[in-house]
Amino acid sequence: MLNGEVEETFYPRNPLDVLAQQIVAIVSEGPIPADDVYRLMLSSAPFADLPRSSYDGVLDLLSGRYPSDEFHELRPRINWDRISGELSPRSGSQRVAILNAGTIPDRGLYGVFLLGKEGETNSRVGELDEEMVHEIHPGDVFLSGSIFLAGHRNHAGSRAGDSGSRRTRTDALLERRRPRKTA
């Protein structure tokens, strides 16, 4: 880390699910002007460019103004007085904020390529999710559809599954293998 050999960090921009959670948590403490919450959100890097229309759309959903009848089973989490601009908690909003904190992490999908002659990548055979890619070690054999594949090293020389410093690298180089015969 002292040598500057740290992977580049990317964070999601305007994740509206996180915005909704944060708004419910903030409002659960007591009434607060919607403009104050918006300014607070803009001071956070992920929401620095949050359009007011997106913010207002999330407030609409949280206060029970749903885009269609398909959402009739959802309960509003906050009150939004559009005239005064004040947000206030609904009964149980603090409990909801505490018990439902967290997000579903984005899962990266990595291209899977067959190794051709002399280590060149050949055809793309599909994708693996991030968890599977990180679990593949050189020599591991697994079944994908009806093809047995074996893990290899990627172009950067790290084991198959290492993402290296960029997600755009070929992360899973595999070769076709015949299944082992069992007695």
| Average per-residue pLDDT for the chain | 77
pLDDT at 169: 34
Name the strands in the sheet holding 32-33, side by side, starting at the edge strand that comes first in the sequence. Answer: 32-33, 86-89, 78-81
* 44 touches 61 (CB < 8 A): no
Q: pLDDT tens for residues 15-46?
A: 999 999 999 999 999 999 999 999 999 999 99
- Name which residue leads in pLDDT, 156 or 102: 102
Is the pLDDT at 132 greater than 90? The verdict is: no
The enclosing H or E element of 62 equals: helix 52-62
Q: How many residues does the chain have?
A: 183
Residues of each domain in the chain carrying CATH 1.10.10: 16-99
- Name which residue leads in pLDDT, 176 or 94: 94
pLDDT at 104: 59
pLDDT at 78: 97
- Name which residue leads in pLDDT, 86 or 103: 86
Architecture of domain 16-99: Orthogonal Bundle (1.10)
